[in-house]
C-alpha cells in the first residue's frame, strides 16, 4: 500500500492546495474578524452574492448525491443553517453596517460565482463536493482559531456560524463524502476534483485579499 493510497482523499486534496490553504486559514482579514476589528461591510456585501451561488450549489448537491443519506444531510444544512440562521444574520448585519444587498460584484466574487455555476451545471457530485468542502473547511479552519469571542454581533455570530460541534460535523460529512468517493475515481476523475479544489482554495485566499482592500 502506498502512502498516497492510505491518505484520505480530502487530506490529499488539501495538502496539494498549499500554500493557499494555509494563507486562507491564517489570513490577516480572518484574524481581524476574530479580534473584532475587521471592516465587515464590503466583505459581507460581496459574501451575500457568494452565498446566493453557494445556496444554488447546495441544491445541486441534493440533486446529484448518490445516496439518500447524503441528500438528507445537505438538505438539512441548506434548510436549517443557510436558509435560516445565516440568511437572518446577513439581513441583520447588513442593516447594522448600512450595507447594500446587491452592490456591483468585485472581480473575485464574479469568478467564484462562475466556478460554482460551472460545477453546479456539471451535476458531477465529487466536483460539487470539492467546492463545498473548500468553502466550509477553510472557514472552520480560521474560525476555530479564535479564542476570545468578539463583542459585537457582526463579528461574533460570523465566527459562531463557522465553528462549534455542528459546523465541525458538517465539514466532517463533506470530507467523508470525498473520502468515500475518491478511491472509486480514476486518475482523470481525481485530477478534475483536485483542479476544482485548488481553484476554489485560491479564490478563498483572493476573496480575503479583496476584503482587506
Ligand atoms: C467566500 C466564502 N467562502 C466560504 C464561506 C462559508 N460558507 C463563505 N460564507 N464565503
Over residues 156-181, the pLDDT tens digits come to: 999 999 999 999 999 999 999 999 99
CB 101 within 8 A of CB 48: yes
Average pLDDT of the residues in 103-124: 97
- Kindly state if the Cβ of 45 falls inside 6 Å of ligand 1: no
Active site residue 100: no
Cα gap 172→181, rounded to integer Å = 14
- Kindly state if the Cβ of 131 falls inside 6 Å of ligand 1: no
Residue percentage of the chain with pLDDT more than 90: 92
> Cα of 137 to ligand 1 centre, how many Å?
10
Does the interface ipTM go beyond 0.90? yes
For 34-86, write each residue's pLDDT tens digit. Answer: 999 999 999 999 999 999 999 999 999 999 999 999 999 999 999 999 889 99
* DSSP labels, 1-58: --HHHHS-HHHHHHHTTTTHHHHHHT-HHHHHHHTT-S-HHHHHHHHHHHHHHHHHHH
> Cα of 66 to ligand 1 centre, how many Å?
25
- Kindly state if the Cβ of 197 falls inside 6 Å of ligand 1: no
Q: What is the chain's mean pLDDT, rounded?
A: 96
Residue length of the chain = 213
pTM to 2 decimals? 0.96
Q: How many CB atoms lie within 10 A of CB 18?
A: 11
pLDDT for residue 22: 98
Domains of the chain: 14-212 (1.20.910.10)
pLDDT for 151 beyond 70: yes
pLDDT for 3 beyond 90: no
Helix intervals (H) in 78-106: 87-97
Amino acid at each position: 500500500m502506498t502512502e498516497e493510497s492510505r491518505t484520505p482523499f480530502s487530506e490529499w486534496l488539501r495538502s496539494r492546495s498549499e500554500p493557499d490553504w494555509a494563507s486562507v486559514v491564517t489570513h490577516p482579514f480572518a484574524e481581524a474578524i476574530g479580534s473584532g476589528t475587521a471592516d465587515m461591510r464590503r466583505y459581507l456585501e460581496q459574501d451575500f452574492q457568494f452565498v446566493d451561488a453557494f445556496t444554488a450549489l447546495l441544491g445541486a448537491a441534493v440533486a446529484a448525491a448518490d445516496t439518500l443519506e447524503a441528500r438528507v444531510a445537505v438538505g438539512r444544512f441548506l434548510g436549517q443553517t443557510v436558509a435560516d440562521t445565516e440568511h437572518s444574520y446577513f439581513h441583520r448585519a447588513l442593516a447594522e453596517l448600512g450595507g447594500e444587498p446587491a452592490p456591483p460584484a468585485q472581480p473575485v466574487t464574479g469568478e467564484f460565482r462562475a466556478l460554482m455555476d460551472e460545477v453546479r451545471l456539471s451535476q458531477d457530485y465529487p466536483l460539487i463536493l470539492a467546492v463545498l468542502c473548500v468553502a466550509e473547511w477553510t472557514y472552520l479552519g480560521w474560525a476555530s482559531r479564535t479564542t476570545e469571542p468578539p463583542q459585537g454581533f457582526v463579528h461574533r455570530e460570523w465566527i459562531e456560524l463557522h465553528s462549534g460541534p455542528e459546523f465541525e460535523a458538517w465539514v466532517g460529512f463533506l470530507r467523508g463524502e470525498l473520502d468515500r468517493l475518491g478511491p472509486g475515481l480514476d486518475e482523470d476523475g481525481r485530477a478534475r476534483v483536485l483542479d476544482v479544489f485548488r481553484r476554489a482554495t485560491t479564490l478563498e485566499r483572493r476573496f480575503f485579499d479583496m476584503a482587506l482592500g
